[in-house]
Amino acid sequence: MGLGDITDRQAVVSALSEFDQMGREAFLAKYGFGRARSYFIEHGGSLYDSKAIAGAAHGIQHGAALGPADFSGGDATVAALMRRLGFHVTTSAAAGTSYWWDGDPRERCWVEIRQVEGIGTYLQCPLVRENGQKDPWYELVPTVSVGDVIFHWSVREGRFVGVSQVATPARVTRSGGTGGYWVDLEGFRPLAVTVDHRVLRAKADFIYDLRDELEEHHGRPLNLPFQFTRDRSQLRFMSNYFAKLPAALVAELFGAETNWHPRTLTGASAPTQSRRIVSRQVPAPAFLAPFKPKADTTYEALVTARTQRRHRDHETLVNACALWLQSRGHTPARNAAVDLGLLDGTVIIEAKLTAGGWPGAIRAAIGQLYEYRYFQVARPDAALILLSDQPVPAEWLAYLEDDRGIGSMWPASTSGFALTSLARQALRL
């Protein structure tokens, strides 16, 4: 039996109802399908993955569901069948698009850039631009899943004002000319921390480095919410309505803010269920990528009509440690947030220069290492190590090892490093 045996429209309706009850991710996981890229059934104002619905409908009508390998999708097969049964089949401008965050259960954060009232209650945008063309930024809206986290940037105030969660799958509304996408939100909470253009510009180096690293691994487009200019001090939000917030950037901007996190938002059990299914069905991605050294040479910068000589001592330290780890049989790795670690994710290392004093360097390192684990920028069970440019004083060593459970290491010679007991244990040396 195959696709042609689906003749009962009510079987498709039942499959659509099951989709609504379970939610998109759970439904796709149950039947073994990935997200649709080209063809969607538009029914009751919602969009449904056409191939997965067809596979489920076959099971409802004949007792045995079809899997993704049992038939091919496309305009001449699934789409044609659904049209014969009286359903409207539509395509998305994102059809065939592969986003860099696809399949990564950590990448569930977005930003709404809003100029009008209604922040935190719903997402709404047109299906097309005023010229009738599809907008790739609008087309991000129907890709959100129940339980995704939406940060809200107020254009009027020039800052992040709150955070909410996706309560329902996207649906299509046909009122008001060409219609639009609509997503209900829930659990809105104001942010206790201030993140505005001033804060973003202070973190411009991190944001630009993150962009470069994502481009290196995934290419373009990245769908990030910023206007990147040659002058980093002029970094600002773009005017498009909706964009992606990478997990590493969320940890950097809101690491000390607990209100945003899905665990603390109230509202529904559905997001929790959806997240469990994703983590069970999708293979856990590698937290770190193979290490690639960043430039650590001195460079010159023209600043207000004068030339300054700047140094990259931080990267010199990280690069030297990576080479040393490699010489000990390890495979060093990093990502946009974590300075250094092992490719298997069992260890993450935060590098700090201590010219500004030990208290500040150690407090910053502790905060970042714990945040990386908590916000799943690194493995939650990863061992933690501080890499400093100078030997750690005894009183701080005791605090790090005995109280915080963090190992320490620092350069001990032109080609070696000194390690505390916890650091040696973590690196299996």
E strand spans, 305-374: 306-310, 332-334, 340-342, 347-352
C-beta separation of 8 from 61 below 8 A: yes
> Phi, psi (5° rounding) for residue 330?
-90, 160
The answer to whether the Cα torsion of 33, 274, 337, 388 is positive or negative is: negative
88, β-bridge pairs: 42
Nearest Cα residue to 253 out of 368, 420, 410, 345:
368
In sequence order, the 6+-apart residues with CB closer than 8 A to the CB of 3 are 54, 58, 66, 70, 71, 77, 78, 81
In terms of DSSP bridges, do strands 109-114 and 242-244 run parallel, antiparallel, or are they unpaired?
A: antiparallel
Reduce the DSSP state of residue 363 to 3 states and report it: helix
C-beta separation of 56 from 48 below 8 A: no
Triad 288, 289, 290: Cα angle to 5°: 125
124, β-bridge pairs: 182
Q: How far apart are CA 364 and CA 100, in angstroms?
A: 30
Q: How far apart are CA 228 and CA 334, in angstroms?
A: 24
pLDDT for position 177:
60
pLDDT for position 72:
79
pLDDT for position 176:
55
pLDDT for position 240:
87
Reduce the DSSP state of residue 204 to 3 states and report it: helix
Q: Residue type for 208, please? A: Y
Q: Could you read off the pLDDT tens digit of each residue along the chain, which spans 429 residues?
A: 688 899 999 999 999 999 988 888 788 888 988 777 778 888 876 788 899 999 999 999 999 999 888 887 776 789 889 999 999 887 764 444 668 888 787 889 999 998 877 788 899 988 888 887 888 899 899 888 888 999 999 988 899 988 999 988 888 876 656 678 889 999 888 887 889 999 999 999 999 999 998 888 888 889 999 999 889 989 989 888 999 999 889 988 887 444 444 444 433 333 332 222 222 233 334 556 666 676 566 555 554 444 444 447 888 899 999 999 999 999 998 876 788 999 888 999 999 999 889 999 999 999 889 888 876 667 888 999 999 999 999 999 999 999 999 999 999 977 789 999 999 999 998
Q: How far apart are CA 260 and CA 188, in angstroms?
A: 9
CB neighbourhood size of 123 (10 A):
25
Both tokens assigned to 241: 């309505």
Q: How far apart are the first and last CA of the chain?
A: 59
> Phi, psi (5° rounding) for residue 311?
-125, 155
pLDDT for position 216:
84
What string of H, E and C letters represents the secondary structure of 22-41? HCHHHHHHHHCCCCCCCEEE
H/E segment holding residue 110: strand 109-114
**Which residue intervals of 143-228 are DSSP H helices?**
197-202, 204-218
Q: How far is CA 188 from the centre of its chain?
A: 20
Q: How far apart are CA 104 and CA 82, in angstroms?
A: 31
> Phi, psi (5° rounding) for residue 383?
-75, 150
In terms of DSSP bridges, do strands 306-310 and 299-303 run parallel, antiparallel, or are they unpaired?
A: antiparallel
The whole-model pTM stands at: 0.49
Q: How far apart are CA 417 and CA 394, in angstroms?
A: 17
